[in-house]
Amino acid sequence: MAEREFRGNRGPLTTASRFGDLTRPDANVRRMPLEWIGLGLAFVAAVVTNMAYSLEHDAAAALPRLSPRRPLRTVDFLIHDRRWMKAFVAETTGWLMYVAALRLAPLALVQAVTASGMAVLAIATARGHPSRLARRERFAVVLALSGLILLGFSLVGGQPSDRHPPVIGIVVWMAACAGLAVLLIVQPTRFGRAATLGLSAGLLFADGDVSAKLIGYGGPWLLALVPLIIAYGTGTSVLQSAYQRGDALTAAGMATMVTNAVPIMAGFVLFGERLPSGGRAVLQIAAFACLVVSAVALGHQERPQAATPAGPARPAAGKPPSADQRAPRAEPGAGS
């Protein structure tokens, strides 16, 4: 009787109301948060993308000298190289998974997870044998994995939050990144050319990542497709030039570090993403720190000793050097 009166006050207990209760946060049946699915996609995207970076490096290193100042010539060489195109298809697949991750999780968290792809890049560079990695590289891999674990713990019980950014703020942010990228291309620096071009490519990719997040909002934000295409296309061209001037860890490592660090900052500055409170905030800050430091450690690799004295073979005692053993002429565009 009491149960019948209770139902009368609420109205008829329909099938829809029964199943509607299961969608409440306090329901007994709890669904996997979309945020976790998004971060899982981000991790898979990081693995696929960084494996593709390693393959692209091997293909680009065998091509004639590429210059970031001649992007059309660079594109012509790349699209006619079958090895590079296969690697680019793999990279594009990883990028599509990354875009899907942005639809399900906040920008800062997605970028933090993709930063762990640096560990994958290190293992790919070692040809699948971690024992070939230097101590500094192994330390970076451990940091990346630790960051992922800490990030997972920090998300327990949390609620994602982000908002549409101000248009003026987006324009200023993206223009500053693009301007600095162009300056690094045309203005020589005291740093290695591979690291400088990798930094430039990373800034351009960061603009593309922010644009991808904007497109997810739909409506007038779909105009961000234009800077997305320009940023990713130009960044890819610059990164291939960096591959020819250093190893994959130096070029792609620097690019990955910047590509992840800049959008993480944009998430908090422009998109209104908030850190959790209490102990989860400490865990998340520690996770970000581990992942970014891991990318920095791998991105600033020292050149191997064997590559430093690389020069022509010494002639035999008492014999003059042959024409092939004389100092080679400087290649055109080597400093570009």
Residue 170 lies in a domain: yes
Tell me, yes or no, whether 216 lies in a domain.
Answer: yes
Q: Is residue 13 part of a domain?
A: no
In a domain, 314, yes or no: no
Give CA separation, 299 vs 95, 166, 296, 330, in Å: 21, 32, 5, 27
Do 141 and 123 contact (CB within 8 A), yes or no? yes
Torsion on CA atoms 194, 112, 225, 67, rounded to nearest 10: 0
Q: Is residue 164 part of a domain?
A: yes
pTM reported for the whole predicted model: 0.68
In a domain, 59, yes or no: yes
> Would residue 324 count as lying in a domain?
no
The two tokens of residue 172 are: 């200023």
Digit-by-digit pLDDT tens for the chain (336 residues) are: 444 444 444 444 444 444 344 444 443 334 457 888 888 999 999 889 988 988 999 999 888 988 877 878 888 888 899 999 999 999 999 989 988 998 888 877 787 788 777 777 777 777 666 677 778 777 877 887 787 777 767 765 555 556 789 999 999 999 999 999 999 998 877 777 888 899 999 999 999 999 988 998 889 999 999 999 999 999 999 999 999 988 787 788 788 878 878 887 888 788 877 767 788 888 878 887 887 787 677 655 554 444 444 444 444 444 444 444 444 444 444 444
Domain count along the chain: 1
Q: Is residue 249 part of a domain?
A: yes
Q: How many CB atoms lie under 10 A from the CB of residue 147?
A: 26
| CA–CA separation, 255 and 258 (whole Å) | 5
Q: Which domain holds residue 156?
A: 31-301
